[in-house]
Amino acid sequence: MMKIRKAATIASILVTLVAVPVGAQDQYVLWGDARKGHDVFVDKGCGSCHAIRGTGPSVGPDLGRIGTRHLTMTQMAGAMWNHAPAMKRAAREKGVAWKPFQGSEMRDLIAFLYAVNLLDAPGNPRRGERLFVEKGCATCHSVKGRGGTIGPSLEQWKAYGSPILWAELMWSHALGMEDKVREFGLPWPKFEDNEMVDLIAYIQRELGAKR
């Protein structure tokens, strides 16, 4: 009975959202434009107190580190509410005008902050070079002629700089690689913590270096 009630509630919410008048739909959109969000960050003076991943002042918390707390959109609203009194005092002391958000500005700003948090801190290419061998990548793949030839050379991955594209490449590559790993009796390599970032940093360093 509880499951039926829950399903009915969810269905009711979905119908309500779908039934929102066209002119009012913008109020309910949960996603924003990260590019516009950057402009909002500048226009509202956020950069006067907040850094982005270590770049900028340290008066307020680093807004490029929010991803480590896994805040949802609503939790973000709560965090901003809690922060408001201290932020207003700091703004007054620094002579920064308090500017309210209008229209899509808040969701654009949050989209920008979450986009920033998709970017990894710089990896360690020296550690990545060691991982390239330890994880067995070098058994099948080569980087600038060094490594195996069972799999394709990683030269073709030179153009991929986005972490989203790397995630897509690794996922797609895993489908065919799993068969080869089983065929050769090799263990499936697993990556912990920052290991994938370090590995990619090594590959990018090698592919970006002059021959």
Full DSSP string of 100-134: ---TTHHHHHHHHHHHHTTSPPPP-HHHHHHHHHH
Distance CA 127, CA 125 (A): 5
Q: Is 0.85 surpassed by the pTM of this model?
A: no
* pLDDT number for residue 13: 36
The C-alpha angle 81, 83, 89, rounded to 5 degrees, equals 120
Q: Is the pLDDT of residue 43 over 60?
A: yes
DSSP E strand stretches across 12-159: 142-143, 146-147
- State both tokens at 210: 């002059």
CATH architecture assignment, domain 125-208: Orthogonal Bundle (1.10)
Burial of 74 (0-12, 13-18, 19+ CB in 10 A): exposed
Mean pLDDT of the chain: 77
pLDDT at 10 over 50: no
> pLDDT tens digits for 99-118?
888 888 988 888 888 887 77
pLDDT band for position 7 (cuts 50, 70, 90): very low
Q: Which of 141, 128, 209 is nearest to 169 (CA)?
A: 141
How far apart are alpha carbons 85 and 165 in whole angstroms? 40
Q: Per-residue pLDDT for 2 more than 80?
A: no
**pLDDT tens-digit readout, 140-184:** 899 988 898 888 888 877 766 666 677 888 888 887 888 888 888
